[in-house]
Amino acid sequence: MSTNDIGIDPATPGDLPDLLRAFGQETYFRRQLTRQAEARGVLLVARQSTRVVGDVYLWLEPKEEPELEEAFPGVPLITHLEVVPDRRRRGIGSAIMGHIESRLTERGCKQVVLGLDPANAIARRFYETLGYLEWTQGALQTTKEIFLSSGGVRREEEVCHVFYKDLVSARLSVHAGDRP
């Protein structure tokens, strides 16, 4: 299925009503828009025609988990990738990830990293398909935030697995594969 009609751009406050229609989580999106306005990260929104179909937040601050920042200093962290349920498995998630990787490569970033709930087998499959590798130094103790419909936020301890991708070598291998 073609993903040529997908537009992926940094969110603006004007995107908020459509983001909330697609995903709810008002507290989360308001907070990330504020972070973006302070140049602490980038909230990307994917639209197909005019409908919001996906979002992702690129965390550019020092990571909250010290051991992750130590292992991946200054490496951008992909968080909160989500595609609306009725448009999944049509290449939208891949298009968003491709957009992020190109954006980061253009800015000279050599790696990108993300954390994954060990129970999320679909996301694991998705990231492995896109060439992400599991960090072998073990699981990470972290805090998950659950955004409640009441507007509140509940924090829960969780273990997450870390995946990363070397953007430079990913590019080189594509070029090597292009050779006749």
Ligand X SMILES: CC(C)(COP(=O)(O)OP(=O)(O)OC[C@H]1O[C@@H](n2cnc3c(N)ncnc32)[C@H](O)[C@@H]1OP(=O)(O)O)[C@@H](O)C(=O)NCCC(=O)NCCS
Residues that bind ligand X (CB under 6 A): 81-83, 88-94, 116, 120, 122-123, 125-126, 129
Token pair listed for 79: 């968080």
What minimum distance in Å lies between the beta carbon of 25 and ligand X? 12
Q: Which residue has the tokens 């020092």?
A: 62
Beta bridge partners of 153: 147
Nearer Cβ to ligand X (21/38): 21
Nearer Cβ to ligand X (163/167): 163
Q: What phi and psi, each to the nearest 5 degrees, are found at residue 79?
A: -135, 155
Question: N- to C-terminal Cα distance for the chain?
Answer: 28
What minimum distance in Å lies between the beta carbon of 130 and ligand X? 7
Report the alpha-carbon distance of residue 167 to residue 101 in Å, rounded: 7
What minimum distance in Å lies between the beta carbon of 95 and ligand X? 7
What minimum distance in Å lies between the beta carbon of 123 and ligand X? 4
What minimum distance in Å lies between the beta carbon of 125 and ligand X? 4
Amino acid letter, residue 153? V
Report the alpha-carbon distance of residue 154 to residue 141 in Å, rounded: 17
Beta-strand pair 111-116/77-83: parallel
Do residues 27 and 7 lie in contact, with contact meaning Cβ atoms separated by under 8 Å?
A: no
Nearer Cβ to ligand X (104/127): 127
Minimal CB distance residue for ligand X: 93
Nearer Cβ to ligand X (1/39): 1
Do residues 167 and 101 lie in contact, with contact meaning Cβ atoms separated by under 8 Å?
A: yes
Nearer Cβ to ligand X (40/125): 125
